[in-house]
């Protein structure tokens, strides 16, 4: 693929990480002209282009060198690393900063009427999740023989629908769990948003210099919020 001189940054198009990621870029002085329908947004004062995509695509775009930087939740990043490893694909990237937004936890929850005495209660049970690799790793660590059932959406209704006995989903306040008659039991992963960069060696000196100017500004913005 041809290399334009412009730094390419992947952000979630719309979702829980979009507004905070865009706000951070604006706070460090990057002027952006974002039009809702468009995949690409050009900065008007820096040699920077934003690629606006689903968050699921961001780790791969960075690891395959399609973009230079990406804002992504650690949960999605870790899941994609495990998925790529299973497929025999390398995952080269660097975490530049852990950010102060996007906080959530990946937790196992069961219907409130279910009896649950620790993860062993899930032996031979089915657990619905969007993060099968993280969940299977947890089962292996805990030596529990349970099955992760992959669902890309509506995970919280799976027990009621008879699709699974429990779920493993992202939680921040717990309101969604409660609304679905579920109780949070075990936290298996704690996550925040991170800024990641593709492998150093593949970046031009100009792009590295630009990144090195942006990072201290990110630190400044985060410190100012503390
Ligand atoms: P996309 O259409 O981009 O695939 P999505 O539905 O996968 O969107 P969101 O629900 O917007 O994604 O969540 C994006 C990320 O926001 C999560 O992967 C996680 O890192 C973070 N996050 C923070 N709080 C929560 C929460 N309460 N529930 C879900 N995700 C959260
Ligand atoms: Zn997603």
| DSSP per-residue letters across 153-207 | S-GGGTTTTTS-SEEEEEESSSHHHHHTTEEEEEEEEEE-EEEEEE-GGGS-HHH
Is residue 166 within 8 Å of residue 180, measured between CB atoms?
no
What span, in angstroms and rounded, lies between the C-alpha atoms of 156 and 176?
8
- pLDDT by position in tens, the chain (length 226): 445 699 999 999 999 999 999 999 999 999 999 988 889 999 999 999 999 999 999 999 999 999 999 999 999 999 999 999 999 999 999 999 999 999 999 999 999 999 999 999 999 999 999 999 999 999 999 999 999 999 999 999 999 999 999 999 999 999 999 999 999 999 999 999 999 999 988 899 999 999 999 999 999 999 998 8
User: 3-class DSSP state for residue 217?
Assistant: helix
Ligand 1 pocket: which of 10, 14, 15, 153 to mutate (most atoms within 8 A of CB): 15
* Count of beta carbons in the 10 Å neighbourhood of residue 209: 11
Q: Within 6 Å (CB) of ligand 1, which residues are found?
A: 12, 15-17, 54-56, 73, 75-76, 102, 104, 170, 172, 191
Q: Report in angstroms the alpha-carbon separations of 99 from 71, 200, 204.
A: 9, 20, 25
Q: What is the pLDDT of residues 33-62, one digit of tens each?
A: 998 888 999 999 999 999 999 999 999 999
The structural domains of the chain, ordered by start, are 7-102+192-225 (3.40.190.10), 104-190 (3.40.190.10)
CA 145, CA 152: separation in Å to the nearest integer? 22
Beta-carbon contacts of 23 under 8 Å, excluding residues fewer than 6 positions away, are: none
At residue 3, the pLDDT reads: 57
Distance of alpha carbon 178 from alpha carbon 156, whole angstroms = 10
Mean pLDDT of the chain: 96
Residue 17 Cα to ligand 2 midpoint, Å, equals: 10
């Amino acid at each position: 693929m041809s290399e334009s001189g412009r730094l390419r940054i992947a952000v979630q198009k719309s979702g829980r990480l979009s507004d905070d990621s865009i706000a951070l870029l604006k706070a460090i002085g990057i002027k952006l002209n974002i039009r809702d329908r468009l995949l690409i947004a050009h900065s008007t004062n820096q040699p920077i282009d934003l690629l606006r995509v689903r968050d699921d695509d961001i780790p791969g775009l960075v690891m395959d060198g399609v973009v230079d930087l990406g804002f992504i939740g650690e949960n999605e990043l870790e899941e994609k690393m495990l998925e790529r490893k299973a497929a025999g694909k390398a995952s080269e990237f660097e975490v530049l900063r852990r950010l102060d937004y996007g906080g959530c936890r990946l937790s196992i929850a069961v219907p409130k009427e279910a009896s649950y005495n620790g993860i062993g209660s899930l032996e031979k049970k089915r657990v619905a999740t969007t993060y099968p690799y993280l969940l299977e790793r947890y089962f292996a660590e805990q030596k529990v023989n349970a099955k992760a059932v992959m669902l890309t959406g509506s995970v919280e209704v799976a027990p009621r629908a008879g699709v699974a006995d429990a779920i493993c989903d992202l939680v921040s306040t717990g309101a969604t769990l409660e609304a679905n008659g579920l109780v949070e039991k075990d936290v298996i992963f704690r996550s925040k948003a991170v800024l990641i960069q593709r492998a150093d060696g593949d970046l031009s000196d100009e792009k590295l210099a630009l990144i090195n100017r942006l990072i201290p500004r990110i630190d400044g913005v985060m410190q100012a919020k503390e």
